[in-house]
A and B are shown apart, each in its own frame.
Chain A
Amino acid sequence: MDPAATVAPPVAPGTGALAVETIGMTKRFGGFTALDDVSMRIEAGGFHALLGENGAGKSTLVKCVMGFYAPSAGSVLVDGREAEITGPKGAQERGLGMVYQHFTLVPSLTGAENLVIARADAPALLDWRTERAALSDFMARMPFRLNLDRPVAELAAGEKQKLEIVKQLYLKARFLILDEPTSVLTPAEAEEVLGLLRGMTDRGALTVLMISHKFREVEAFARSLSVLRRGRLVGGGAVGALSRDDMAAMMVGERTVRTIAARIGEPDAASTVLNVEKLEATDASGMRRIDIADLRVRGREIVGIAGVSGNGQKELADVLGGQIRALGGRITVQGEPYRGTRGESRRHRVRFIPEEPLRNACAPRMSVAENLAFRAFDRRGEDPAGSPTFWLDRRAMGRRAKDLIARFKVKTASSEAPIATLSGGNVQRAVLARELTDPVDLLIVVNPCFGLDFAAVSEIRSRIVAARNAGAAVLLISEDLDEILELADRIVVMSEGKLVYETPAAAAESSVIGRHMAGHH
C-alpha cells in the first residue's frame, strides 16, 4: 500500500459523528480466511463494542476499515456513501481515526510535536507560539491533563494511551476505533476515558467502535455490540439484551474453558525465598527511580504487586531479572545474594517471565524448539542440573520441544517454525513451558496475560497457581488488578517507585487498593 496513492478527494470537512457500515467484508491471507463476509452497521453517535477471542478477526476488520489492508471483497460505507480508503491518511481525511494497541507515538518527540506533525496540514515552518496557544486551547476542552512538553518516551503507558486518544480527537476524528483501550489504564482511568468518549457520542460528536475483552466495560459504556468468531460475525445486538453468559458463549463457541485451580495449602511461614531490602535503582534513562524498603516472598505464596503502569514495576522486574544494576540495597534468594546471573538462577531455581515475552524472553527468529531450549541447551542431555557441554544435542532438543509443545498445547506449525510466527497466547504458553517444567523455587512473572484472550488467560493463570501449590514462591507484577485479586495470597501496591500498601488478599478491598494505586496514601 502506498499511502501517497490516495487520490479520491476527501469529503468536505464536516463536524459531528459519522455512521460507518461494512458490507460483505472479506479478507484472505493466502488460503487462510481471516475475515469472512462481515457486514455490520454502526450508527452515527453509537458506541459499539467488538468482542471476540484473539485471532477472531477483530483487528483484521478494523484494519480493513482503516485502509491498512485492502479487503479481498466487500466495501465500507461512510455516512451511507461508499468510501474507497486506500491508506491511513485517506482514513484520516474522512474523519476516521484509530487508537492501536501498540503505541504509534514517536518516542523521542514531545507530546506537542507528536500532535502537530500528525496533522495533515502542518505548516512547513512551525510557529511554536501559535501552535502552543492552539494546543492549550484544545487541551482545555479535554478532561485529561497531559504534559505535552515531555518526550513521549518518558510518559507512563497510561499517559501514552490518553495522548493517543487526544491525538485522534486533535486530528478531528469523528469515528474512532479503539483497540483494547483500557489494558494499560487503572480502573479509575479507564472509567474516566471511556466516560468522556461515551459523553461525546451522546452529544453526537463522535462514533466509537471499541475492541474489548472486558465484559464489565462493554456493559458499562457500549450501547451495542457485535461478536466475531473465526472471522465470522456470530451475533450481536443492544447491550443489556445479552447476558455475560450469552456473550461468552458466542465468543468461544462450544468449548469448555478451564477454571482456575484453587490455591491449596498455606504459605510456608518458615521459608523466605525472596528478600528485597532497601533496594534502590533507576531505569536506563535515569528518569524513574525505585526505592523498595522491604519485600519478602515466602514459599507457596503468590505476592501480587499492583500498580498503574509506569510506577516502577518495570524497573523492579528489570533489577530482579538482572537487566539493570541496583544502586543500593540487597536482594537475597534463599539467603544468598542474588544478581540475576544465569548461574544464580540455575542454583536457586529462579524462573523469570518478563512482560511482552516475544520481545523480552525469546529470540523471535529462532525456532520454537530452540527457544524452548534456552534454559538448558548448554547442559548435557538438556537437563538443567546436568554438567556443561560444548556440543548442542539437537535430537534431545527436538524431543523435549515436541513433548513441551504437546503438554502445554502450544499451537505451532512445527517445532522448527520461528517463534515470532506464533500468536501472543502461544508465545506465552511456550515461555511458560520453558520456565515451569522443571522444579521452581522462585517465579517472577510480569503482566503474564497482557493482550491474551480469556481462554488463554485462565490456562496461564492456572499454571501459575499450580507452581505456587507445588511450593514455589511467586512474585506476580501485574497492571491488571483483577488478575492480582484472583491469584495473590498477599497484595502489595506500588506507587511512584515505592511499596505503599500491603494487605492479605483475603482482607483486600479493591477500593482501598485503587486509592493507593492512584497515589492517595
Chain B
Amino acid sequence: MNDDLGLWTVLLAVIGGAIRVSTPFLFVSLGETITERSGRINLGLEGTLVFGAMSAYATAVVTDSPWAGVAVAGLAGGGFGLLHGFICRFPRVNDVAIGIALMLFGSGLAFFLGKPFIQPSAPPLPAIPLGFWSDTPQVQAALRVNVLFLVGAALAVFLWWAFRNTKAGLIVRVVGDSADAARAMGYDVDRVRLLATAVGGVLAGIGGAYLSLYYPGSWNEGISSGQGLMAVALVIFARWNPLACFGAALLFGGAGALGPALQSVGISQGYYLFYAAPYVLTLALLIATSSPDRALAGAPGELSLK
C-alpha cells in the first residue's frame, strides 16, 4: 500500500471521525457548561446521555420519526436535570453524590426499559453530504455532516454570546460565582440552578439521541462507554467557555477516531493503545494546563470542585 495514501486516509478518517464522534461530547459539555456556570456539577449526565439514547431510539422505532426521538430524548434529559436540581435544593445534599446516583439510575433505567429495542432498527437522523464536490469516497464519507453537529456548533457560538449579552446569561454567571451576591440582588439561586441543570439535561439527552440515531446508530448497553463523564472533564479543560468546548469536543472526537482509522489502514500493532487515545489525551491536557502557582482561571466561584 502507498504510504502517502495511508497517511491521508488516516488524516481524513480522523477529521471525519472528529466531526462524527464529537457531537455527543459537544452537547453534553455545552449542557454541563450551563449547569456548572450556575454553580452546580451534574455528574449524572452520563446516565442522561444513555437514557436519551434509549428513549430516542425507542421513540424513533415506534413513531418512525427520528426527530420525534430527539424531542423525547431532550424531554427525558430535562426531566433528569429537574430531578437533580430538585434534590440538590435540599440542605446538606451534595451535588456530586446525587450526580453519581443519577448516573447509575439513568443507565440502569435505560437498560431496563431498552431491552426490547436492541433488535429492531430505527430510522437514522439525516446527514448533509458536504463532500459532494469530491470524487474521493473517503472525502465524501468524512464530510457527511449530521444536522445535529451543525446545531451544536451554532449553539456553542450562541451560548458564548449569550453569557455576555443576555440578562439570563449574566444571571447564571452571577449565581455560579457568588450565591450571596445573587441573593442580595433578589435572584432565587435554587431556581436558577434548577433551570440551568434542566437545560443541561435537555442538551445531554439530545446528545444521547445522536448516539443511537446516527453514530454509532443503534441501541445497546455499551453505547456511551463513558462519553458523558469525559464531557464533564472536557468542560474543565475548556475553562467553562462554550467556544473552547467546541474545540475540545472536536479534539476528543478526533482522538477517538484515531484507533479505528489506524486499524482501517492495517496498523494493528498496539491498537488498543490507540483506542485509549481520548483518555490519555484527557490526562495529558489536564496535566499540561495545570499549574501549582496559578488559580484555576474562570472556575465559577460556587463550584464545589474548588
Contact = CB atoms under 8 A, between A and B. Distances in A.
A89 B186 contact: yes
Interface stretch (A99-107, A223-231, A290-298, A370-378): A99-107
Contacts of A128: 164-165
Contacts of B173: 106, 108-109, 113
A106 B293 CA distance: 23
B185 A88 contact: yes
B170 A87 contact: no
B125 to A, nearest CB: 32
B301 interface: yes
B115 interface: no
A100 B294 CA distance: 29
Interface in A405-443: none
B166 A124 contact: yes
Given A107-B178, A107-B301, A117 B186 contact: no
A6 B183 CA distance: 13
B197 to A, nearest CB: 19
A118 interface: yes
Given A107-B177, A117-B185, A126-B165, A284 B170 contact: no
Contacts of A285: 294-295, 297
Nearest to A116: B170
Interface string A258-294: 0000000000000000000000001011100000000
B188 A284 contact: no
Contacts of A330: none
A123 B177 contact: no
Interface string A83-122: 0000111001000000010101111110001001110101
Contact of B188 (A4, A92, A107): A4
Contact of A126 (B167, B295, B300): B167
A171 to B, nearest CB: 10
Interface string B269-306: 00000000000000000000000111101101100000
A131 to B, nearest CB: 10
Nearest to B297: A285
Interface string B174-197: 100110111111111000000000
A113 B177 CA distance: 13
B157 interface: no
Interface residues of B, number: 28
Most buried by B among A88, A100, A109, A128: A109
Contacts of A4: 186, 188
A108 B298 contact: yes
B171 interface: yes
A106 B297 contact: no
Nearest to B165: A126
Nearest to A123: B167
A3 B181 contact: no
A117 B174 contact: yes
Nearest to B183: A3
B97 interface: no
B301 A284 contact: no
B178 A126 contact: no
B298 to A, nearest CB: 7
B89 to A, nearest CB: 13
B295 A118 contact: no
Interface string A466-501: 000000000000000000000000000000000000
Interface residues of A, number: 33
Nearest to B176: A108
B167 A3 contact: no
A122 B187 contact: no
Contacts of A2: 188
A124 B300 contact: no
A124 B168 contact: yes
Contacts of A107: 177-178, 301
Given A4-B188, A106-B178, A109-B177, A122 B297 contact: no
B140 to A, nearest CB: 41
A117 B163 CA distance: 12
A125 interface: yes
B224 to A, nearest CB: 32
A38 interface: no
A117 B167 contact: yes
Contact of B181 (A6, A89, A105, A125): A105
Most buried by A among B164, B181, B293: B181
A132 interface: no
Given A3-B187, A123-B167, A124-B167, A284 B177 contact: no
Interface string A68-90: 00000000000000000001110
A361 interface: no
A23 B238 CA distance: 54
A108 B301 contact: yes
Contacts of A396: none
Contacts of B180: 102, 104
Contacts of B166: 124-126
Given A106-B174, A109-B174, A125 B186 contact: no
Interface of B: 164-168, 170-171, 173-174, 177-178, 180-188, 292-295, 297-298, 300-301
Interface of A: 2-4, 6, 87-89, 92, 100, 102, 104-109, 113, 116-118, 120, 122-126, 128, 282, 284-286, 324-325
28 contacts: A3-B188, A4-B188, A6-B186, A88-B185, A89-B185, A92-B186, A100-B184, A104-B184, A105-B178, A106-B174, A106-B182, A107-B178, A108-B173, A109-B170, A109-B177, A113-B164, A117-B185, A120-B186, A125-B166, A125-B167, A126-B164, A126-B170, A128-B165, A284-B295, A285-B294, A285-B297, A324-B293, A325-B293
Given A104-B184, A113-B164, 5 more contacts: A88-B186, A92-B186, A108-B300, A126-B166, A324-B293
The 8 closest A-B pairs by CB, nearest first: A89-B186, A284-B295, A3-B186, A117-B170, A108-B177, A104-B181, A106-B177, A106-B178
